[in-house]
Amino acid sequence: MNSPRSLLAWLAAALAGSCGAMDFTLQTRDPVTGQVRITTESVAPEHVAVIAVDVWNYHWCKTATMRVDAIVPRINKALEGARALGMTLLLCPSDVVDNYVGYPQREAVLALPRVPLPPLLEVSCPPVPDAGGCACGRERCAVNYGWDGMHPGLRIGEGDLMPDTQAEVYAICQQRGITHLIYVGFHTQVCLLGKSMGLKAMKSAGLRCMLARDMTDAHPGYDPARQFTPDLNTEQVVEHFERHLAPTINLQEELARIGRWDPAWVVDPVRIAPWGTRMRPHLFEQPVTVTLTAPLQPRGSIRYTLDGSRPTPQSTLYAGPFLVSRSTELRAVAFEGEKPVTLESEGSFALLPPMPPKPDVLVGDLPPTRSVGFGHTYGGQVRYSGNTQAPQKDHSNLGQPLRINRAVYAHGIGVHAPCELVYAVQPEFKRFVALAGADENLISVSHGSNLARYPSVRFKVFIDGKEMAASPVMRVLFPAWRFDIPIPAGSRQISLVTMDAGDGSREDFADWADAGFVTRDRPAASAQPHLMPR
């Protein structure tokens, strides 16, 4: 708890910062030597706008998604302070801005009189380092456009505005006398730089632009073999901005100096690379090198557990990257002594089982004794919902090819979760085998725009009512989960269950590919999927 004296000091600073100009500490670098240069600039808060770019609710890279999630609490605190100072807040989700039609923050922008852009200045900047956009290492994520809005934790103020273009931002600045823009958001060298409302575009329109280096993250990369981490990637990109494009500020320090940021706030989690979660786990075949960081809490000691238990100051001390070679639930917190100085983070890692052999008997050739799916059931008859259908043989639930992780399969069953298929077990059935995953035909339309974030399913197999195996949560463009289950002698029935992941059933189309029964003893197949020729 803060002492009365420190609280009084904080209050005095807040009162002092409630009027007059702010003195910003600007950091640039010599373009050749990289030597840091510090200058100050005074500007009244009413002439400043904070512009948050692409604080999305999803990214095709799961680690990138979680790194956005990690910075949103920090951004919220900064925006809260900026609003209190009288700064204008511009929230820019770029290509999904039209999902906010009807919001007063968007409609107010559309109603503004158009203002002609001035003659644009030439802004030159050498190519910015781009590490590829995926921070998951060897098991890279595949590109899709699943985001459909801003992060749900990002607070939208009543007086905030949602511009989308250079012209819209310029019109706001002209109307409100804004001369300076502070950029926060993602991903630094792509969206913050290159979008129509991005830093380069607005600098060319004559605005004084600054980058908040403590509230941004680069389009990430991760190569632990050469000690290249997402944090290092961001540092390099920020340095590039400082050399060639714009000054940076530490927005937390700027707000703390005038009493708008309480140093006691705990807003940052430990960052994990790669960063899977229970709802979007990191699937792997070879051991994974895991890196933990708390770059904004450098004095904190990271403590972690690998069994899903809550970390304490006595938990294992993080001393450097370590290997995960089996399915693991990681939890981590940074402490200063006994005091936590970060929020808790979780990391979920799931080791893929060996590839199963191809079945001798396909489930698609067998009549199920029970088949229920997404809809209403009356007297054993199912009224299927919306555009879903009964389970489909050798096709997706909507009649397309069976597609999992960019592979097309000739045989299997296409379903929509929740669904259960029950089959009688014949004496000759030795094992049940299948490759199960989220169907990804939606990726073929506009790279899954607005939809790829939604499919999330779990697969389970029951024999005579006993759960024999289960997948983790499976998402679009995940590798198929591999089932190879011995069938006990005397078994009567086997149930193939597809469930939603607890977040609703929207777009939960799923495939049981190469699903069936092995009738003779033979070794498992190689680690190559059984694909339908293209």
CB-CB contact of 25 with 148 (8 Å): no
Are residues 440 and 306 located together in one domain of the fold? no
pLDDT at 337 over 90: yes
pLDDT in the model for residue 514: 98
pLDDT at 359 over 50: yes
Q: Tell whether 38 is covered by a domain.
A: yes
Q: Tell whether 10 is covered by a domain.
A: no
Mean pLDDT of 31-53: 97
Are residues 499 and 391 located together in one domain of the fold? yes
pLDDT in the model for residue 523: 59
- Please name the amino acid found at residue 322: F
Q: Tell whether 14 is covered by a domain.
A: no
The CATH number of whichever domain residue 176 belongs to comes to 3.40.50.850
Residues 6+ apart with CB under 8 A from 297: 268, 334, 341, 342
Measured CA to CA, the distance from residue 73 to residue 215 in angstroms comes to: 10
Tell me which H or E stretch contains 486.
strand 481-486
Q: Which of 291, 326, 351 is the last residue of a domain?
A: 351
CA-nearest of 251, 242, 234, 218 to 27 is: 242
Residue 142: Cβ within 10 Å count: 16
Q: 6 vs 216, which has greater pLDDT?
A: 216
In 274-360 the beta strands, taken as DSSP E runs, fall at: 282-284, 288-293, 301-305, 316-317, 322-324, 328-336, 339-340, 345-351
**Number of domains comprising the chain:** 3
pLDDT in the model for residue 533: 31
Mean pLDDT of 423-452: 97
The CATH number of whichever domain residue 399 belongs to comes to 2.60.120.1060
Q: Tell whether 428 is covered by a domain.
A: yes
Measured CA to CA, the distance from residue 289 to residue 365 in angstroms comes to: 43
Are residues 260 and 278 located together in one domain of the fold? no
- Please name the amino acid found at residue 62: K
Q: Tell whether 176 is covered by a domain.
A: yes
pLDDT at 15 over 50: no
State pLDDT tens for residues 442-496. 999 999 999 999 999 999 999 999 999 999 999 999 999 999 999 999 999 999 9
Q: Which of 265, 296, 330 is the last residue of a domain?
A: 265
Q: Please tell me the pTM assigned to this model.
A: 0.92
pLDDT at 528 over 50: no
pLDDT at 14 over 70: no
Are residues 342 and 367 located together in one domain of the fold? no
Mean pLDDT of 326-355: 98
pLDDT in the model for residue 379: 83
Mean pLDDT of 215-225: 96
- CA dihedral defined by 396, 401, 406, 408, rounded to 10 degrees? 120
Are residues 196 and 316 located together in one domain of the fold? no
pLDDT in the model for residue 521: 75
Sign for the pseudo-dihedral over CA of 26, 28, 217, 159: positive
Print the domain residue range for 45: 28-265
pLDDT at 531 over 50: no
Q: Confidence class of residue 54 from pLDDT cuts 50, 70 and 90?
A: very high
Q: Tell whether 59 is covered by a domain.
A: yes
Strands 88-92 and 48-53: parallel
Q: Tell whether 58 is covered by a domain.
A: yes
Mean pLDDT of 149-178: 98
CB-CB contact of 269 with 345 (8 Å): yes
Q: Confidence class of residue 130 from pLDDT cuts 50, 70 and 90?
A: confident
Tokens in use for 338? 């006994």
Are residues 250 and 292 located together in one domain of the fold? no
Are residues 85 and 186 located together in one domain of the fold? yes
Tokens in use for 465? 């009512």
Are residues 347 and 371 located together in one domain of the fold? no
pLDDT in the model for residue 380: 79
pLDDT in the model for residue 522: 63
Q: Tell whether 455 is covered by a domain.
A: yes
Q: Confidence class of residue 525 from pLDDT cuts 50, 70 and 90?
A: very low
Tokens in use for 70? 């990690």
Tokens in use for 209? 């632009």
Are residues 245 and 381 located together in one domain of the fold? no
Angle at alpha carbon of residue 358, lines to 357 and 363, rounded to 5°:
125
pLDDT in the model for residue 84: 97
Are residues 205 and 222 located together in one domain of the fold? yes
Measured CA to CA, the distance from residue 274 to residue 330 in angstroms comes to: 11
Distance in Å from the first CA to the final CA of the chain = 65
The CATH number of whichever domain residue 298 belongs to comes to 2.60.40
Query: Mean pLDDT, the chain, as a whole number?
Result: 93
Cis peptide, bond prior to residue 418, ω within 30 of zero: yes
pLDDT at 9 over 50: no
State pLDDT tens for residues 255-288. 999 999 999 999 999 999 999 999 999 999 999 9
Q: Which of 333, 351, 369 is the last residue of a domain?
A: 351
Are residues 228 and 325 located together in one domain of the fold? no
Are residues 213 and 311 located together in one domain of the fold? no
